[in-house]
Amino acid sequence: MTGLMAGRRGLIMGVANDHSIAWGIARTLHAHGAELAFTYQGEALGRRVGPLAAKLGSDVVLPCDVEDLASVDAAFAKLDERFDGRLDFVVHAIGFSDKAQLKGRYVDVTTRENFSRTMTVSCFSFTEIAQRAARRMGPGGALLTLTYGGATRVMPNYNVMGVAKAALEASVRYLAADLGPDGIRVNALSAGPVRTLAGAGIADARLMFNHQKAHAPLRRTVSLDDVGGSALYLLSDLSGGVTGEIHFVDSGYNIISMPRPDVLQA
Ligand code: NAD
């Protein structure tokens, strides 16, 4: 592999299992020389993340629930002990919404309570992580979050997650503008559908998966390696001049405006 990330220390947030997008990204970054730390949400996931981290040579595995700011600060304090207060990059691959509201019409099912919770976990946590990470970064630092095409176009059942992703994408631009003068870059990957725990929470996920496979220019969905490769680009010096960007890794699905006529007619 290239050694593109050699000497870089980074925090990976959002591994739940070996299907997680964060895991695909971690695998790729490790293969290119990065030294990694991981956070996990809750003890049950911790039991899964520990062995996965070990596969990538890491024993820095820290609990962190972004709904509990004390646990975020505790994770960064522990990270400082292991990384000498220095950090080169963060991958934020965290999202949550009440699954009962990822089904049906947005206008009917969305409650104030779940709207706020979804926004806090899926959007504002990235800003809170950026606030803490940026203080530990120098020029060359990079922050990356994960978004979805449902941020800008309506996807059935994506509902409040789409609204949160739109706000997340706006946050990427504001954070990029603020942190750019310090040489810190902030970008998002907009991934096509991937079969993960979070992905399975959206009603008719399989339908959306098959639809994108049929209509995306590449006629396939994306793999964890595809997403990992794009993350490597956005976190390494290869993209040194890129910030505030929403980069699609979706087999080109986002450029399509209508289903293929041959499929519609079939
Ligand atoms: P996943 O279920 O593997 O990962 C989601 C992660 O979010 C889990 O590790 C979970 O523990 C974490 N999380 C949720 N609430 C949290 C909290 N309060 N504190 C800390 N962590 C919390 O699913 P994934 O699909 O890999 O999701 C990662 C990111 O990718 C999410 O932002 C998701 O919206 C985004 N994304 C997913 C897809 C897809 O099709 N799967 C497509 C585009 C973007």
* Centre of ligand 1 from the C-alpha of residue 183, in Å: 27
Q: Determine the pLDDT at residue 187.
A: 99
Q: If you measure from the C-alpha of residue 14 to the centroid of ligand 1, how many angstroms do you get, rounded to a whole number? A: 6
The protein residue with its alpha carbon nearest to ligand 1, atom 37, reads 199
Question: What spacing in Å lies between the alpha carbon of 93 and ligand 1's midpoint?
Answer: 5
Arithmetic mean of pLDDT, 3-27: 98
- Distance set, CA 73 to CA 68, 89, 94, 123, 220 (Å): 9, 17, 17, 18, 40
Q: What fold does the segment set 9-265 form as a domain?
A: Rossmann fold (3.40.50)
Q: Is the dihedral angle over the CA atoms 142, 165, 207, 214 positive or is it negative? A: negative
Residue among 42, 44, 43, 49 nearest 12 (CA): 49
ipTM (interface pTM) = 0.99
Which of 196, 246, 254 maximizes ligand 1 atoms within 8 Å of its Cβ, making it the mutation to test the pocket?
A: 196
Minimum-distance ligand 1 atom for the alpha carbon of 197: 2
Q: How far is the CA of 95 from the centre of ligand 1 (A)?
A: 4
pTM: 0.98
Q: Where are the domains of the chain?
A: 9-265
**% residues pLDDT > 90 (the chain):** 94
Which residues sit with their C-beta closer than 6 Å to ligand 1? 14-16, 20-22, 41, 45, 64-67, 93-96, 121, 146-148, 191, 193-194, 196-199
Residue 265 pLDDT > 90: no
Would you say residue 260 has pLDDT above 90?
no
Q: pLDDT-derived band of residue 123, with 50, 70 and 90 as boundaries? A: very high
pLDDT band at residue 179 using 50, 70 and 90 as cut-offs: very high
Catalytic residues: 148, 158
- pLDDT band (50, 70, 90) for residue 216: very high
Q: Cα separations (Å) of 91 from 22, 151, 207?
A: 7, 19, 28
* Amino acid symbol at 156: P
Write the pLDDT tens digit of every residue in 40-52: 999 999 999 999 9
- Say yes or no to pLDDT of 110 above 90: yes
The Cα 121–Cα 141 span in angstroms is 23
Q: Where are the alpha helices (DSSP H) in the chain?
A: 21-31, 43-55, 69-83, 106-109, 112-119, 125-134, 159-179, 197-200, 205-215, 224-235, 261-265
The alpha carbon of 141 and the centre of ligand 1 are apart by a number of angstroms equal to 23
Residue 19 alpha carbon, nearest atom of ligand 1:
3
Residue 164 has pLDDT above 90, yes or no: yes
d(CA 24, CA 17): 10
Give the number of the atom of ligand 1 that is nearest the alpha carbon of residue 209: 40
Residue 168 pLDDT class (50, 70, 90 cuts): very high
> 48, 47, 42, 50: which is closest to 19 by C-alpha?
48
Q: What is the pLDDT of residues 50-108, one digit of tens each?
A: 999 999 999 999 999 999 999 999 999 999 999 999 999 999 999 999 999 999 999 99
The dihedral built from the CA positions of residue 69, 231, 192 and 55, taken in this order, carries a sign that is: negative
pLDDT score recorded for residue 242: 98
Closest CA to 42 of 66, 11, 69: 66
Residue nearest to atom 29 of ligand 1 (CA): 93
CA 25 to mean position of chain CA atoms: 9
Check whether 263 has a pLDDT greater than 90.
Answer: no
pLDDT by residue (tens digit) across 236-252?
A: 999 999 999 999 999 99
Atom of ligand 1 nearest to the CA of 161: 34
Q: How confident is the prediction for the chain on average, in pLDDT? A: 96
